[in-house]
Structure 1
Amino acid sequence: MANHQDPITYGPAAPHGPDVDGNHPSMVSPDFGMYQNEKEIFDSLLKPDDSYDADGTYWADMSIWRRFKFVRKVDAIETKREFGSFWSMFKADPLSPLGFYFRNMVLPGAGLGLEGYVLFSIGNLKPLFQKGFPNCWNKELTCSATWLAAVEYLEICGIIVGQILVGVIGDWIGRRWGLIQDATIMFIGLLMLTAAWGVTENGWVICYVWSLFFYGIGVGGEYPMTATAGMENAVGSGKVSTRDDRLHRGRKVTSAFLMQGWGQFFNQVLLILLLLIFHHGSGNAPYSKLAVQWTYRVSFAIPAVGTLWLVYYRVYKMKSASKQLQAAKKKSSVTGYDAQSLKIIINHFGGRLLATAGTWYMNDVFFYGNKLFQGEFIKVITPNNSSVMPGWLYNLINVGVALCGYYLASFLIDNKLYGRKHMQTVGFLMDFILFVVPAFNFEYYTRPEHIHSFQAMYFLSSFFNQFGPNSVTFIAAAEVYPTAVRATAHGFSAAVGKLGALTAAVLYNYIDTQTKFYVVPWFGLAGVLLTVVFMPDTTGLDLKEQERRWAFIRAGREQDYHGIAIHPKHLSLWERFRGVSKPYDPDLDYKQRIEEMRKEWEVNMQEKYDEKDGRLDREDFEDEDLPNHATHFFQRTTTAEHLVPREKELNEKEDYQSSSDSPTRR
């Protein structure tokens, strides 16, 4: 807020409206310095220097070489600023950067970290169960083959139920409730997994399977809730986005998502340590039933403690998680679930649904197939091995390689020269190549003298899966849709993705290792085609602009929107073919945005007058959602004919005109 004692010196009265040509006199204020003309005020607000150059050209409208220089300049400035902030924190307190990372990356992704720990432990535990309970898990003498197969099927089915159910709840009741519900379900599920038992071995398996299904519901809900809440926390709920929003939104969400990789890593480390503890310091077979039971039960009990803390954190420390959703509902006059927006999405953004759901499906055939296939992979490179330790150690290496992919994705996902769409296309393409090469040369690469090449290709496929579709599908399924139905659309896309995991789980039970290599690569190629044709690129796009475009679409005035959300760079080939980008006009949009800001300011002032019951002071003229210089401009350029009724009434009062605390009126 401005200091009441500092007068604002304005030029002549300006009933003319915004001076976008730069012909009107300068304006001076102690709050924000001098602007040569009114156009500079709005350029600073509507054309930020991280997206527009000195000439006011949007980065996507620049030529390739000019864009390259602009992006490098912005990145250099931002890197210097971030390093300076890091160094200042480090000098003040050497541990403060770790605290910053924990608050901004670890906590938002804690649910996915716990999910990754438990979800992927199932594949790690299966070979241990086969060694400790061979008559049940291996020979299928004491247990039903149907229930053993259901371990993989029902887990995925539970995830699908959670993704759809919690996605709808997150848009209906709110993000915070969805987050609390997920954590609670996962905590109860972990208690069930830890205590799973049965009178017979088959009864134990049945109890184990249904515990996984229940836990899977909470896991499924984590996908839409973490993505939407993380993104909306990054973007904020005000009308104007920040530099940090525009430059690092993708990094914030991906940094939370990569906690899934750390969950896998810690699960594998703890399983190795627990087996060594309960198997008397040895990792070699045979394993006693007691050692197996203690190993797997304690491995589930440990994350239960962390999940209980997560319930507490979300209940008491995330009370504003639904703020942006509530703002969007208020603007659209919606109190419950926004069914109208859902209908518009289905009719209007069908291509985007095909892109986010279809590419997620193709990715999960690779991602979950990779986890399900790792046992077969280990058999190829370590034949005649009877211990689970070599497989676990190789998986630990694989997870480490995947983590490198996660982190590189977080560093480059916001880069305007590479970004989301290129990252996903390259990732799918590399997965296709790294699987199709050994598919048609399987015997060659599985020979002892060439096995290291086979290993390298397998590990690299994990790297490019994370540095590509696995990271991008997670963020794109939230970014390309409006706030009102973001969780629903993300949940639906993720659920279709899990059908890909189910496809891999079913398919791998009926084909041999060689055939798996023949079949799987083509899902990667299909992912490339879907990405190139149907996926829009939201890299560098201010999501406030996407919400603005959505307001036009919802009002049935799509052709009246002329902003950057329909720039060809931010649309898919399919949308460009349909002519969605034709109304794009940066000059017309610039004038339109100024007029929209004026109207919003006048509405806000009317509400404040009504709320204050006529008491008008300097603070009443300042809108907390707009920078001071824009607010001052609207104060100055709102003439008597434009003023809201209550302000006109107050202007007529002589005692108000003589008040020393009231702003100068003209």
Structure 2
Amino acid sequence: MSEGSKAVFSALDNAKTQRYHFKAIVIAGMGFFTDAYDLFCITAVTKLLGRLYYPDPKGQKPGKLPHNVNNAITGVALWGTLAGQLFFGWLGDKLGRKKVYGITLVTMVGCAVASGLSFGSTTRSVITTLCFFRFWLGFGIGGDYPLSAVIMSEYANQKTRGGFVAAVFAMQGVGILFAGAVAMLVSKIFLLSFETPPFLSVHEKSTQPQADFLWRIVLMFGAVPAALTFYWRQKMPETARYTALVQGDHQKAALDMAKVLERDFVMDRPMANSESNANRPVSLQPSYGLWSTEFLKRHGLHLLGTASTWLLLDIAFYSLNLAQKDVYPVSKLVPRAEHMNAIEEVFKISKAMFIIALFAQVPGYWVTVFLIDKVGRFYIQLGGFFFMSVFMAVLGFRYDHLTGKSCPVDNKYDFCGGHSSAFIALLALTLFFANFGPNSTTFIVPAELFPARLRSTCHGISAAAGKAGAIIGAFWVQNYTQDAKGTKTAIKVLAVVNMLGFVFTFLVPETKGRALEEISGEDNADDIDKGSRSGVANGAAAPETQMV
């Protein structure tokens, strides 16, 4: 590595926390706010879609989505996210972080609006159109995962890097919170504006015309925060580590970081054969590729560790989040569907989402932000998996005791005679330790472990493995939890899954307090040295860089 690169990276690693760091957190974090909102707002309106488009033929009970349709609506965005993580992760290493960052945002804005405009003359056409646009919405969301993580890790200083990347990811919790808040606010406005006559049948209550506007407004709102940050994303410079280590342009890296750090970098005259070669970028030719023997030797176990732990975490995490609408009646937070009209059901489900997010999920994210650079990634992830496993084991093995026996027909809730406060507390603790644990660390560590030229790709692969786990949760777990027996078994299995995550965590090294180039081996790696020498041999030696 050239002395010029070392000077720029040293300045980044040792820079004091300043305004630009917080600006970058907001810009990248608003993308994650949008990601979480778009992925989880569907939970608040899924049952409403069932009432509207799949009414009970006899009109005696509220409509309900068929299992395959429910799985498609909740899971199709996850398939899109998985594809987007792989594609944009690779593209971010090929074209640069900044160029690809704007593309993902435009995709999210357009598809969020289009999801709410899923019109059609038949139920089939509406649902098909909705699934089509939510797939491409997920595709854009997928690109935000590797790019946001890598951009923030490459901008951040060495001492507080974990906290900065965690703060970006913590906006996921705020997005989940707002998904509940927006659905709750819109449904409350509809409830106050359109009073339901008491003489309507269950079928008529389920098909209130104004309810069709409610779910569309909730879905389209996801375009607002993403659109607000587009301008600032375009103004962000490329990261110095990508510019220097991948593109080989040390001078441009220094100029860009001078803007970021608000400090001047003086470039010494390069020792080139001619003046015309002075500004020529150094072409760093890597000596090993992604799936080469050398990569597998250096980082194979790291990639296995980051991918496997994210996969196992998301099986449990998304199972819990997407199944919240079914868990709430059991925990006595939401009455049975037949005791509410369509809009009231959205209000109560979104209210429960908001409460759980506010008191369980959001605190977990921010405790991670404040402690990750003190405790370390490894111990937070290990502890998170352990406690998730313990609490889910208690929920599974004590399910009958916690929820009580079967309910009388006229009971307002699915929860009868159990310990509702204990059930809710265990659920909340599970979500808290998911976020103060592997849900945060699996996002952070892949942005630190791998070489700059492969960092976005490897983060995308790890994140895609996580979404594969989310798809298992969305399709398999939701199908399996149609009755009490299946729910108990699923929760027990998820407890085992979390314990497997605990075991696979030992494949992931601690990255706290270390420079990115030290972690990835680029501080004195042969492939970087060869690339620098190749540039010198061609009359394009890297310039020396000094801070002023």
Q: How big is the shift at 1:552?
A: 1.9
Equivalent residue in structure 2 for 1:413, among 372, 390, 414: 372
Q: Deviations over 1:525-579 (max 9, x none)?
A: 00000002x011001112232355465253699xxxxxxxxxxxxxxxxxxxxxx
1:439 paired residue among 396, 404, 412: 396
What residue in structure 2 maps to residue 290 of structure 1?
A: 209
> What is the Cα deviation at residue 292 of structure 1?
2.1
Structure 1 residue 266 corresponds to structure 2 residue 178: yes
Task: Give the secondary structure class of the aligned counterpart of 2:28.
Answer: coil
Report the TM-score when normalising by structure 1.
Answer: 0.64
Give the match for residue 391 of structure 1: 349
Whether the 8 Å CA contact 1:136–1:202 is kept in 2: the answer is: no
Tell me, yes or no, if structure 1 residue 340 matches structure 2 residue 313.
Answer: no
Deviation per CA, 1:559-613, whole angstroms, max 9, x where unpaired? xxxxxxxxxxxxxxxxxxxxxxxxxxxxxxxxxxxxxxxx99xx8xx979x99xx
Asked if 1:510 corresponds to 2:459, the answer is no
The aligned counterpart of 1:126 is: 46
CA shift for structure 1 position 366: 1.5
Give the drift of 1:148. Answer: 3.9
Amino acid at match of 1:298: I
- Name 1:112's counterpart in structure 2: 32
Separation of aligned partners in 2, 1:207 and 1:338: 46
Check 1:141–1:607 CA distance in 2 against 1; reply closer, same or farther (3 A cut). Answer: closer
- Figure out how many residues of one structure are paired with residues of the other and give that number: 469
Q: Indicate conservation of the 8 Å contact 1:276/1:282, yes or no.
A: no
Residue in 2 aligned with 1:430? 387
Give the Cα separation in 2 of the matches to 1:195 and 1:365: 31
Match of 1:278 in 2: 190
- Residue by residue over 1:469-519, the C-alpha shift from the partner in whole angstroms, topping out at 9 and shown as x without a partner, is 000000111111111100000000100111111111222203421121121
- Report if the CA contact (8 A) 1:445-1:451 is conserved: yes
SS of the equivalent of 2:321 reads: helix
Taking the aligned partners of 1:262 and 1:443, their CA distance within structure 2 comes to 33
1:525 alignment partner AA: M
Change over 3 Å in CA distance of 1:288–1:141 after alignment to 2: closer
Equivalent residue letter for 1:522: V
Q: What percentage of residue pairs aligned between the two structures are identical?
A: 26
Aligned letter for 1:340?
G
Q: Which structure has the bigger radius of gyration? A: 1
Q: 1:130 to 1:267 in 2, by over 3 A?
A: same
- TM-score normalised to the size of structure 2? 0.77
Which residue is 2:430 aligned to? 461
| TM-superposed deviation, 1:377 | 1.6
C-alpha distance 354-197 of structure 1, shift in aligned 2 (>3 A): same
Query: 1: distance between equivalents of 2:130 and 2:361?
Result: 29
2:516 to 543, 551, 563: 543
Deviation (angstroms), 1:100: 7.7
SS at match of 1:307: helix
Q: For residues 550 and 366 of structure 1, do their structure 2 counterparts lie closer, same or farther at Cα, with a shift above 3 Å needed?
A: farther
Farther-moved stretch of structure 1 (461-470 vs 120-129): 120-129
Pair 1:143–1:114, CA change in 2 (3 A): closer
Structure having greater relative contact order (Cα 8 Å, sep ≥ 6): 2
Aligned equivalents of 2:99, 2:56: Cα separation in 1: 41
Shift of 1:141: 9.0
Q: Which amino acid aligns with 2:48?
A: L
**In the alignment, what sits opposite 2:5?**
none
Q: Which runs of 5+ in 1 are unaligned?
A: 1-44, 52-77, 86-98, 235-244, 558-598, 612-622, 629-666
5 Å-filtered alignment, 1:451-530, equals 451-508=420-477, 509-511=479-481, 512-530=486-504
Residue 350 of structure 1 deviates from its aligned partner by: 1.2
CA spacing shift, 1:156–1:406, aligned 2, 3 Å: same
Q: In structure 2, what residue type is equivalent to 1:518? A: K
- Name the CA distance, whole Å, in 2 between partners of 1:514 and 1:457: 14
- Structure 1 Cα separation of the partners of residues 171 and 10 of structure 2: 35
The one-letter code of the counterpart of 2:480 is: Y
Aligned: 1:624 with 2:545: yes
Verify the 8 A CA contact 1:129 1:292 in the aligned structure 2. no
1:421-458 CA distance string (max 9 Å, x none): 00000000000000001211111111335221111000
Residues 81 and 141, structure 2, Cα contact 8 Å, conserved in 1: yes
Residue 166 of structure 1 is matched in structure 2 by 88
Tell me, in whole angstroms, the C-alpha distance in 2 between the residues paired with 1:550 and 1:349: 15
1:34-73 superposed matches below 5 A? none
Given that 1:133 and 1:289 are in contact with CA atoms closer than 8 Å, whether structure 2 keeps it comes out as: no
Amino acid of the residue matched to residue 391 of structure 2?
L
One-letter amino acid matched to 1:255: A
| Cα displacement (A) at 1:326 | 2.1
Structure 2 segments unaligned to the other structure (5+ residues): 1-7, 197-201, 250-281, 405-416
Which residue is 2:55 aligned to? 135
Q: Is the 8 A contact 1:173 1:336 kept in 2?
A: no
1:178 and 2:152 equivalent?
no
Check whether the contact 1:341–1:554 (CA below 8 A) recurs between aligned residues.
no
- On the 8 A contact 2:97/2:147 being kept in 1, the answer is yes
CA 1:513 to 1:547, structure 2 compared with 1: closer, same or farther past 3 Å? closer
Contact kept? 2:451, 2:522, Cα under 8 Å: no
Cα deviation for residue 275 of structure 1 reads 0.8
Return the offset for 1:256: 1.0
- Distance in 1, matches of 2:213 and 2:420, equals 35
Asked if structure 1 preserves the Cα contact closer than 8 Å seen for 2:32 and 2:144, the reply is yes
Look up the match of 2:238.
321
Letter in 1 for 2:365: Y
